[in-house]
């Protein structure tokens, strides 16, 4: 579909919903961990400053990100969240008319970024039961015009993991691969190596937003081979010459605290996942792939309308989940388990009521 200027119409439906309609007393729609507070970090007012030496990266932040990711600092491009990271990564590789092969289902904004760049979208399907990727079907979808493959690992909306061997094989198809790893640290000790360590054909995006509950810092980054990284820095010049320095300073401090935050997150997710499994065990009307880690799951409602159920859940039971229509899978819905245990349990109880009333 085309807009009034004759451009391909963006499909963005999810973000306006997420910003305007996902908020509720019991919010199970969020995919990240509940927000950490500034006072939970060892930040003193004297640690912060409005302006500083931040040009193509702020050196202490570049070094802290390099350490966190296990790569040299010249392979890191700092970005405003994974959102901007995905934009810079795609804009550096794609030109109008190029094809990009994107997994289905996916985070809708990934498709929208490619559309904004003027790329042609092709999709490949993840498997129905385990949401794994099938290299043969990806290979079959490639054409001479395909200039980029895009996957998320862990997968949004299912938390399915692509193991390291499969990621490597993806990298052997002769096309650059963008791996959005914003949820990967939620696999904890089962986490494979980042694709950014597996070869120059990979471009990786991530941030401290989801797993660490630090979304407001907007501390995102891209891992890419140095020449491509340089191209991304220059693309980013268009969006402003200077980043928010206070956020950079606080991000350096937050990166030093990640082991402590991760421990807390791990404990929370383990408790919350047990509550979620208990709820799902009690429901015969739901079918679900159960990932051993991650912050989100994506059940399928066996009968009835997910949209109707979500409306009922929100208006009558003050609880939200994400309707599957935003992932082009209208019989599914996404549940996030990154909040505190008690509201999660109450939200799940209310979800059960809405399902029963349906």
Ligand X SMILES: Cc1ncc(COP(=O)(O)O)c(C=O)c1O
How far does the chain reach from its first CA to its final CA, in angstroms? 34
Segment interacting with ligand X, rule: CB under 6 A, options 79-87, 168-176, 262-270, 342-350: 79-87
| Residue 92 half-sphere exposure toward CB, CA atoms < 13 A | 28
Asked whether the beta carbons of 131 and 155 are under 8 A apart, the reply is yes
Given the complex with ligand X, which of 99 and 180 has the nearer CB atom? Answer: 180
By the rule CB under 6 A, 180 interacts with ligand X = yes
Residue 228 tokens, joined? 């491509």
Residue 340, phi then psi, degrees to nearest 5: -80, 155
Given the complex with ligand X, which of 34 and 355 has the nearer CB atom? Answer: 34
Residues 6+ apart with CB under 8 A from 100: 90, 94, 114, 119, 120, 121, 122, 146, 147, 148, 149, 150
Residue of 182, 339, 319 whose CA lies nearest to 275: 339
* Cα–Cα dist 207/214, whole Å: 9
Residue nearest to ligand X (CB): 81
Candidates 31, 62, 153, 272; binder of ligand X (CB under 6 A) is: 31
**Would you call 38 exposed, middle or buried from its count of C-beta atoms within 10 A (0-12, 13-18, 19+)?**
middle
* Cα–Cα dist 10/2, whole Å: 9
By the rule CB under 6 A, 81 interacts with ligand X = yes
Q: Helix (H, G, I), strand (E, B), or coil: what is residue 90?
A: helix
Residue 281 tokens, joined? 């065990």
Where in 99-158 is the site for ligand X (CB under 6 A)? 107, 152, 156
Where in 152-171 is the site for ligand X (CB under 6 A)? 152, 156
Within its chain, how far is the Cα of 298 from the centroid?
14
Given the complex with ligand X, which of 180 and 185 has the nearer CB atom? Answer: 180
Where in 211-240 is the site for ligand X (CB under 6 A)? 215, 220
Given the complex with ligand X, which of 220 and 294 has the nearer CB atom? Answer: 220
Looking at the chain, how many residues does it have?
358
Candidates 27, 54, 62, 83; binder of ligand X (CB under 6 A) is: 83
Within its chain, how far is the Cα of 30 from the centroid?
11
Given the complex with ligand X, which of 14 and 317 has the nearer CB atom? Answer: 14
Given the complex with ligand X, which of 333 and 350 has the nearer CB atom? Answer: 333
By the rule CB under 6 A, 27 interacts with ligand X = no
Shortest Cβ 29–ligand X spacing (Å) = 10
Question: What residues pair up with 334 in beta bridges, in sequence order?
Answer: 322
Given the complex with ligand X, which of 31 and 251 has the nearer CB atom? Answer: 31
Shortest Cβ 192–ligand X spacing (Å) = 17
Given the complex with ligand X, which of 131 and 317 has the nearer CB atom? Answer: 131
Given the complex with ligand X, which of 182 and 254 has the nearer CB atom? Answer: 182
By the rule CB under 6 A, 82 interacts with ligand X = yes
Shortest Cβ 106–ligand X spacing (Å) = 8
Shortest Cβ 65–ligand X spacing (Å) = 14
# residues contacting ligand X (CB under 6 A): 13
Segment interacting with ligand X, rule: CB under 6 A, options 207-215, 242-250, 278-286, 347-355: 207-215
Residues 6+ apart with CB under 8 A from 334: 29, 31, 157, 296, 297, 298, 321, 322, 324, 327
Residues of this chain that bind ligand X (CB under 6 A): 31, 81-83, 107, 152, 156, 180, 182, 207, 209, 215, 220
């Amino acid at each position: 579909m085309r807009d009034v200027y004759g451009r391909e119409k963006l499909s963005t439906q999810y973000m306006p919903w997420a910003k305007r309609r996902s908020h509720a007393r019991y919010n199970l729609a969020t995919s990240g961990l509940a927000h950490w507070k500034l006072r939970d970090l060892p930040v003193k007012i004297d640690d912060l400053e409005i302006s500083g030496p931040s040009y193509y990266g702020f050196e202490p932040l570049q070094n802290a990100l390099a350490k966190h990711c296990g790569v040299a600092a010249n392979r890191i491009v700092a970005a405003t969240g994974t959102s901007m990271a995905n934009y810079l990564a795609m804009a550096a590789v794609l030109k109008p008319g190029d094809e990009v092969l994107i997994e289905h289902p996916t985070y809708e904004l990934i498709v929208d970024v490619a559309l904004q760049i003027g790329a042609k979208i092709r999709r490949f399907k993840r498997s129905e039961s385990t949401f794994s990727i099938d290299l043969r079907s990806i290979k079959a979808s490639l054409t001479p015009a395909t200039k980029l493959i895009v996957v998320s690992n862990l997968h949004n909306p299912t938390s399915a993991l692509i193991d390291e061997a499969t990621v490597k094989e993806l990298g052997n198809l002769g096309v650059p691969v963008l791996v959005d790893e914003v949820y990967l640290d939620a696999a904890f000790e089962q986490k494979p190596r980042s694709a950014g360590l597996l070869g120059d054909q990979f471009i990786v995006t991530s941030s401290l937003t989801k797993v660490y509950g630090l979304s407001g810092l907007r501390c995102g980054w891209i891992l890419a081979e140095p020449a491509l990284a340089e191209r991304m820095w220059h693309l980013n010049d268009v969006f402003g010459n200077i980043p928010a320095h206070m956020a950079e300073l606080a991000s350096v401090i937050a990166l030093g605290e990640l082991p402590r935050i991760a421990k807390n997150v791990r404990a929370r997710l383990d408790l919350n996942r047990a509550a979620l499994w208990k709820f799902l065990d009690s429901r015969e009307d739901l079918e679900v792939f159960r990932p051993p880690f991650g912050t989100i799951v994506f059940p399928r409602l066996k009968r009835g309308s997910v949209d109707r159920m979500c409306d009922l859940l929100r208006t009558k039971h003050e609880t939200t989940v994400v309707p599957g229509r935003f992932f082009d899978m209208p019989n599914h819905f996404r549940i996030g388990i990154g909040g505190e245990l008690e509201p999660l349990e109450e939200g799940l109880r209310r979800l059960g009521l809405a399902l029963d009333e349906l």
